[in-house]
Chain A
Amino acid sequence: MTLHPILNTIMNNKADSIVLKNITKYFPGTIANDHIDLTLVSGEVLALFGENGAGKTTLMSILYGLYQPDEGEIFIKGERVKIRSPHDAMEYGIGMIHQHFTLVPVHTVVENIILGTEKAYLKHLDIKKKVKKIKEIGKRYGLEVDPYTIIQQLPVGIQQRVEILKALYRNAQILIMDEPTSVLTPQETEKLFNFIHDFKAKGHSVIFISHKLNEVMEIADRIVVLRDGKIVSNVLRQEASEGQLTHMMIGRDLVIPKTNSSIHPKSEMLKIKNLTIMGDKQNKAIDDLSFTVREGEIFGVTGVSGNGQEELAQALCGLRKVKNGQIALSDKDITNKDVLSIIHQGIGYIPADRHKEGLVLDMSIEENLFLKNHSNPMFLHYGFLNQNKIQENARNLMRDFEIKAASSKSRVMTLSGGNQQKVAVAREVNIGTKLLVAVQPTRGLDLGAVDYVHKTLLKEKKEGKAILLISTELSEIMTLSDRIGVMYRGRLLKIIQRKDAKVDEIGLLMAGITEGKRNGKN
């Protein structure tokens, strides 16, 4: 990728504050960062834009010393440096605001801010002096917080402010913000943006990681698009267009596979009516949601993560209580049924985090393929496991789904990421005789495995199963779905037939901008 000519001129005029050269990071089975060159100039807001898993956070974790790059060099102010830990990074004036805060909830603001900065062990701790300094910084940047409040009593927006103060207290001149707005209300977001402008005006720089198009367009001076661990675009904001960026992010013109586009008016398999689900913070995670999924159809739900997708999925598999409304599977009410009876109803569930929720890594392949049959009388004989049946089941699934392993007794931990996901997919496809719920089914997989999962979903659809695909990856949603629902704050803003769907429109809907709103704005 050649640099944009304008960028060269900028770089010549201003001092480079950070240069990343040839940064490469491997994770088992994938390349998270593939020879990345990136320059950060003082006094700019640089947005790292890309889908989940594009390598944004990994790259920044390397800069912040959380990971060590496998290859490549980092230069700060022209000098080659090794950043071994966040402590090193802070020494160089780099601060990072994580997506999930790193505060001690039961401590006060001041205790959290000074944590780790005091070198002396027995010296008297002059809290008043620290408080004064914190108040000073707060005033300078418009980030006032009462230093004596306990963190858990503060709203999320203010907690983030404490995180920023923590970095500023350590003299951060470069702030890395990882999806900082994902937890904020629009008003809080506006305040955050005001701060970023202020901070920039003082000659400091910000690296803003996001996959929200509208925010990137609003705040960034320069936008770097990452895809599959590579930089695919590096443009100035003025030169960027929303459509082009979305294209860059997804990476190809979406080839929509030929399907028998006339969907037969088959029966409705999953019916969701006026569903309301409470989130962990007693907010309405799902708010009066209604939709249906028909037999032989893939219904794609897309949206920025944290808009209720997770809660919806949990309610569907019985792990989260529904407050209001109804979930029905082929006219049978399954609202608030327990997990096991939902499994027995024929719902397969491919979870987002296969290591945590989908597999038992320490168990063998055959035990994992049997995971959800533990109460299925077919596999049991007076409470004893029928080993023959379990092995036969494993053999069949391993053959049908091309799971590559030394034997069915191999521990799942020893498999490659793609084969691990095949184990989970095989089991769920086998169990989900009526409905398959797939949540981010290709997260973190290499391209070959992604392709395999997609083909499997399409095959199951052809066989007449109803499939609910929940994904934040627009490309996946666009290639697979028959209908697409865009989720925003617990509601589906719009349900679109795929043939009428445009990436730009969905991108805007994901940011909560509906057609009417947008016209009103302009």
Chain B
Amino acid sequence: MEKINNLINKTDSRIKQSLISQDDDVWLNFLPVFSVLLGLLMSGLMMLFLGYNPLIVYSNMLNYAFRDIYNIADIFAKATPLILTGLAFGFAFRASLFNIGAQGQFYMGAVMAVACALKLGSFPSYLTLMICFIMSLTGGSLWAAFIGYVKARFNANEFLVSMMLTYVAIAIMNFLLGGLLKEAKGEYPQTDVIPRSGWLPSLIPHTRLHWGFVVALLIALLAYIILWRTSLGYKIRMVGYNRDAARYAGINVEKIFVIVFFISGAFAGIAGFTEVNGMQHMLIEGFNPMIGAEGIGIAILGNAHPLGIVLSALLFGALKVGGNLVVQTSRIPASIIGITEGFVILSVILSYFIRDKLIVLRNKKKLIVQEEHRL
């Protein structure tokens, strides 16, 4: 008995020591940076196979992306909707829920925004923008809340429901673009350009960067505050980490499902607002078709943390701006940008896997040390 008690004390002190020595593993936090570099390296190899010098391609990319204020501003403009769809996935992910239907919620938000902007042309600008913002938010959030509801009510798989609802959203958007919202000329499946009063003012004159970027930053801040500063966010994270414990603590887990999807969908819907009112100023069939999927990658790259998501979205924005110009000015196929993005995400996912393995390995080592101590 005494012997065992001694051992317990010893192991306790060992665990204490290892807690302190965890600081040695700070480098694990920089793993995403390493893996981004690894992703760039892998796509560099790909370029080699295609017969291009990756060093030249990358340096061109950098040069183009940061050539002038217009391009730099464009990075931020491109990042704006990606921040929001990234937040949409990341927020739900914090509750261990998978909202992979940000694309559909984005389209619903865009439809609402364009409809409001077209019909409210005579309103003062701030009022139009306010209404567009609220309506796009509502469109996205209600669309997503349905996913949460069927999950809560029927235990439907949110992964499948959110994915399939995207196709429904696309169909609805196409239907409206072919009828109610179709341009006056009636030629293409797209809307008219929205009146000037519905345009988000630009942030830097003579660039495409608009106030939507500030909106996206504020939303990211809001997501952070909800998750880590409010009682609601605490409940959401608890549901994400351990649903059983949440139930025992008196949390209505089903209600949390609906709330999380509502908020997550709102973020994606707002992306529709920033794209329609800030960037495109109209709605075209099938525009930005990859924004939802890229949001997932960005959320993973950013470890589902709002700050990480903002930084990853900026990285993707830079890749897009630089990449597009490289493609336009040389004979490199355009798909190389997508491939680079893919490799980056892939290596990030792998890095999380490796990190978990490393942690397990370290804990095992710790255990072995304990055992040796015992003998």
Contacts and interface: CB of A to CB of B under 8 A. Distances in A.
Contacts of A414: 15, 18-19, 22
A341 B241 CA distance: 23
A404 interface: yes
Interface residues on B, range: 20 to 34
Contact of B248 (A349, A361, A362, A404): A349
Contact of A383 (B8, B19, B20, B230): B230
B15 A317 contact: no
Contacts of B208: none
Contacts of A410: 19
A339 B245 CA distance: 12
B241 A371 contact: no
A406 B19 contact: yes
B242 interface: yes
B242 to A, nearest CB: 5
A370 B247 CA distance: 15
Interface stretch (A182-190, A285-293, A352-360): A352-360
A405 interface: yes
A448 B244 contact: no
Contacts of B4: 446-448
A356 B8 contact: no
Nearest to A338: B250
Nearest to A228: B4
A380 interface: yes
Given A383-B232, A384-B230, A385-B231, A447 B248 contact: no
B95 to A, nearest CB: 13
A366 B314 CA distance: 34
A375 interface: yes
Contact of B367 (A26, A358, A384, A415): A26
Interface in A335-379: 338-343, 349, 351, 356-363, 367, 370-372, 374-375, 379
A405 B238 CA distance: 21
Nearest to B225: A384
Given A26-B371, A319-B248, A446-B4, A374 B15 contact: no
B210 interface: no
Contacts of A358: 245, 248
A318 B36 CA distance: 48
B19 A416 contact: no
A360 B241 contact: yes
Nearest to B18: A414
B209 to A, nearest CB: 33
Interface string A440-481: 000000111100000000000000000000000000000000
B60 interface: no
Interface string B1-40: 1001100100110011011101000000000000000000
Given A26-B367, A359-B242, A416-B11, A339 B248 contact: yes
Contacts of B238: 360, 363, 371, 374
Contact of A447 (B5, B11, B20, B231): B5
Contacts of B229: 384-385
Contacts, number: 105
A70 B8 CA distance: 19
Report which residue of A28, A343, A371 has the largest number of chain B beta carbons within 10 angstroms of its beta carbon. A371
B290 interface: no
B242 A405 contact: no
A340 B255 CA distance: 14
Contacts of B78: none
A374 B5 CA distance: 36
B349 interface: no
A370 B18 CA distance: 25
B236 to A, nearest CB: 11
A105 interface: no
B235 interface: yes
Nearest to B371: A26
Interface in A54-96: 70
A29 interface: yes
Given A28-B367, A339-B251, A414-B18, 15 more contacts: A26-B367, A26-B370, A29-B8, A29-B11, A339-B250, A341-B250, A356-B242, A358-B248, A360-B245, A375-B250, A383-B230, A414-B19, A446-B4, A446-B8, A447-B8
18 contacts: A26-B374, A340-B250, A342-B250, A356-B244, A360-B238, A360-B242, A360-B245, A363-B238, A371-B245, A383-B231, A383-B232, A385-B229, A385-B230, A385-B234, A406-B19, A419-B12, A447-B4, A449-B8
